[in-house]
Every structure is written in C-alpha cells, then in structure tokens.
C-alpha cells in the first residue's frame, strides 16, 4: 500500500498513523492493537454516533471533520487491500478514545452495533483499556 495516496493517515509496518499535520500539539497519542473486525466496529460506532444520536456540537464537529474522514479512509483500505494482516495498529489520541467511548456508552448505539454483527461490550473493553503513557 502506498501511504502517499492517503490523505488522513500513513501506513507503516502494520500500523495506521495520524499524519503529522493533523495532530494536535500537546495531545497524548498511542497505538492500539486490534483485529480488522474490531477496527471496522469502531468505525461503525463513530458513524452511528454521528448519524443516530443527539450529541454535543463540538463532538459532532470533531467526529465529522476529523475522526470519520480518517476512519473511512482506513475502512476503505480494509475493504480493498486483502494483503493486510488480520491484526493491525491504529494511532489514537486520548480525545479519540473519549469520543469513541461516548458512542459505545449509548445503549441504542450498542443495539445497532449488535444488529450489524459487532460486539459492543468487547469494543468498549478494548477502547477503554487503551493506555496512554
């Protein structure tokens, strides 16, 4: 995969990193490890949070303008590049973690995720256990 074709991420090794110009200085970042299905579940959670849930304006703007474009780009790669390993890393900020957990805390989002074949409890545990050093 050619990282130069990516607008919001760059891919190195088996990790999707946030492009430097899109990082907020002073924010904590770490790499979370997960399988492709879990990563697609997190993308779907953020997508559902924006579409199906009344959320604060600043959160909606962050999700629509920052997180979703980046996650959609990753999901498109997962859907088309079958040579990727099953276990991948994704760089997340502490704020990204909180935004994803906001959606995973919603029982309606959990229900919608279950209907789409994802395990919201597993995703919530995975995301909430991400450690930032």
Enter the pTM of the model.
0.91
pLDDT in tens, the chain (133 residues): 666 689 999 999 999 999 999 898 999 999 999 999 999 999 999 999 999 768 999 999 999 999 999 999 999 999 999 999 999 999 999 999 999 999 999 999 999 999 999 999 999 999 999 998 7
- The string of DSSP codes covering 34-102 is EEHHHHHHHHHHHHHHHHHS---HHHHHHIIIIIHHHHHHHHHHHHH-TTS-SEEEEEEEHHHHHHHHH
Look up residue 25 and give its two tokens.
Answer: 């200085």
Q: Where are the domains of the chain?
A: 3-128
Nearest one of 17, 8, 7 to 93, comparing CA atoms: 17
Report the relative pairing of strands 87-93 and 29-35 from DSSP bridges.
antiparallel
How many Å apart are CA 49 and CA 99, to the nearest integer? 9
Cβ contact 90:31 at 8 Å: yes
pLDDT at residue 36, as a whole number: 96
């Amino acid at each position: 995969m050619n990282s130069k074709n990516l607008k919001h991420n760059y891919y190195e090794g088996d990790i999707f990193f946030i492009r430097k110009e899109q990082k907020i200085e002073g924010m904590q970042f770490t790499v979370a490890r997960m399988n492709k299905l879990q990563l697609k579940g997190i993308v779907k959670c953020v997508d559902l949070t924006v579409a199906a849930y009344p959320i604060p304006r600043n959160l909606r703007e962050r999700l629509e303008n920052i997180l979703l474009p980046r996650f959609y780009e990753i999901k498109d790669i997962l859907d088309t590049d079958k040579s990727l390993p099953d276990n991948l890393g994704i760089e997340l900020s502490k704020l990204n973690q909180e935004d994803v957990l906001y959606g995973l805390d919603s029982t309606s989002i959990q229900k919608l995720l279950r209907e789409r074949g994802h395990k919201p409890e597993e995703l919530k545990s995975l995301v909430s256990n991400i450690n930032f050093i």
